Amino acid sequence: MTRRAAALRRLALASGIAAIAVACATNPATGKREFSLMSESQEVALGKESDPQIRQEMGVVDDPQLQGYVDGIARRLASATERPQLPWTFAIVDAPAVNAFAVPGGFVYLTRGILAHLNSEAELAGVLGHEIAHVTARHSAAQYSKQTAGSLGLLLGQIFVPELRPFGQAAEASLGLLFLKFGRDDELQADDLGAAYATTEGWDPRGVASMLETLGRLDDGPDRKGVPNWLSTHPMPADRVARLEERVTALRTQSGGRELAVNRAAYLDRIAGLMFGDNPREGVLRGNAFLHPDLRFRMEFPQGWQVQNTPQQVVAQPQGGGGYVFLQLVQQARGRSLEEVAAADLGQTGLQFIDGGDTRVNGLPAFIGTFRGQLPDQGDVVLRAAWIAHEQKVFRVAGLASPRSAQGVVRAVDATVQSFQPLSRGEADRIRPNVIRLHTAQAGDTWERLATGPGAGVVPARTLAVLNGYAPQEPPRAGDRMKIVVEAR
């Protein structure tokens, strides 16, 4: 069981008792009485337990200035809420997906992908206010409670090989609980509360509406590193922006002619240089090839398989399931020979060695073997795994399947292992991240031209328009300061 799952199960047990005593609690943000299984201290405990795991799983953007800027704004908003006493914590996670999410207890995360898509400080305050509101109004606590009471068993069942520690967890499973979908009412309430918090602290609440407009234009594309895009976790009722506009007008009237900040230029200056898309330091996917410039290797997963790159592992799966192939760095490679490393690595799993031996993969020493045994929640499994030594590190390529689907997975692992090869310095140097740069639009600029200009050509024209808060068919306005995406030099 994962630590989070364990925490939830403990909470489930604890709250089973608490629920009898406190079946109904007053919602701090809305003042309404509602059914709740989670006390404030349980919310905080869950947040504190989840936070280090989220940071580890997703990575945090290494930019203290940007982090400090976001934190400063977020803290002002949190102080304007009904729950300023929570241990509010804000982080920018290193994910290219466009999303923001919150964990009960006051833990709020923005991806660098969403920061790239915002166009002013008022929009940033809007997103932060919205996520803060999900916490203050206990939306996710209520969700966790529902999950705990209802379908936790189902969720636990989906967590891949929870006991097989050496293999970690598939990211989508371990992070799944973060991306519970909110209902329409929760979303509208978070918009309203978020706009109110922003206004109280002096930001123009129209930022909430324009932020929603931009996020509404995003394609609900595939998950990026286990993080789904905003639209798939924050449903967008058709009338949401129009409805919010009335609310925004009311808030602006109430603020009685007070100057409300938008701060577009200041925001753009803060995010100039921000990485856009995949972070090559964690390796990049080019089709089904995985290239890692820092660890200096490349490897190819089977054609047609879905590949996901997370900081802990790369995991590939055939369409329709039937097994997995993983690539991981062996954290503590104990043992003198690769066979000993393999034995230590699989030590606690109890899997039995069937066949295999030492081999070489494109000149690199390797040990490959087939193992069989029982795993908790998985039953009978066949594991095909190779340990490959490269530049003082050991990489594990492994596939796991039921004995029924074993043949296909063994073939897939062997082909994947054979594709593992060192990357030359030149090849490694050519893998660069894309970054945001600022550009002042000239008369006659089009999105097409900006997208294909010198150093650009890394995102489609439509993406550039959306990134800048424009409708895709609207041309750039001459004189506007705007974001373009270029390859870092």
Residues at the interface with Zn ion (CB under 5 A): 187, 190, 234
Q: Which is nearer to Zn ion, 32 or 184 (CB)?
A: 184
Smallest gap from Cβ 311 to Zn ion, in A, equals: 25
Q: Which is nearer to Zn ion, 234 or 240 (CB)?
A: 234
Beta bridge partners of 386: 368, 397
Q: Which is nearer to Zn ion, 215 or 268 (CB)?
A: 215
In this structure, is the dihedral angle defined by the CA atoms of residues 378, 379, 382 and 383, taken in order, positive or negative? positive
Q: Which is nearer to Zn ion, 83 or 234 (CB)?
A: 234
Smallest gap from Cβ 375 to Zn ion, in A, equals: 37
**Which residues fall within 8 angstroms of residue 415, CB to CB, at 6 or more apart?**
300, 302
Are 323 and 337 within 8 A, CB to CB?
no
Q: Which is nearer to Zn ion, 190 or 299 (CB)?
A: 190
Q: Which is nearer to Zn ion, 43 or 187 (CB)?
A: 187
Widest CA span of the chain, in angstroms?
78
Smallest gap from Cβ 237 to Zn ion, in A, equals: 12
192 vs 144: CA distance, rounded Å: 22
Residue 376 has which token pair? 């908790």
Beta bridge partners of 347: none
Q: Which residue is nearest to Zn ion (CB)?
A: 234
Beta bridge partners of 325: 316, 399
Q: What angle do CA 344, 378, 164 make, to 5 degrees?
A: 30
Rounding to the nearest 10 degrees, give the CA dihedral for residues 49, 50, 54, 60.
Answer: -60
Q: Which is nearer to Zn ion, 121 or 186 (CB)?
A: 186
**Which residues fall within 8 angstroms of residue 172, CB to CB, at 6 or more apart?**
223, 226, 308
Cα–Cα separations (whole angstroms), residue 27 to 33, 73, 85, 138: 6, 25, 15, 7
Smallest gap from Cβ 185 to Zn ion, in A, equals: 11
Are 483 and 470 within 8 A, CB to CB?
no
60 vs 172: CA distance, rounded Å: 18
Q: Which is nearer to Zn ion, 206 or 234 (CB)?
A: 234
Are 285 and 431 within 8 A, CB to CB?
no
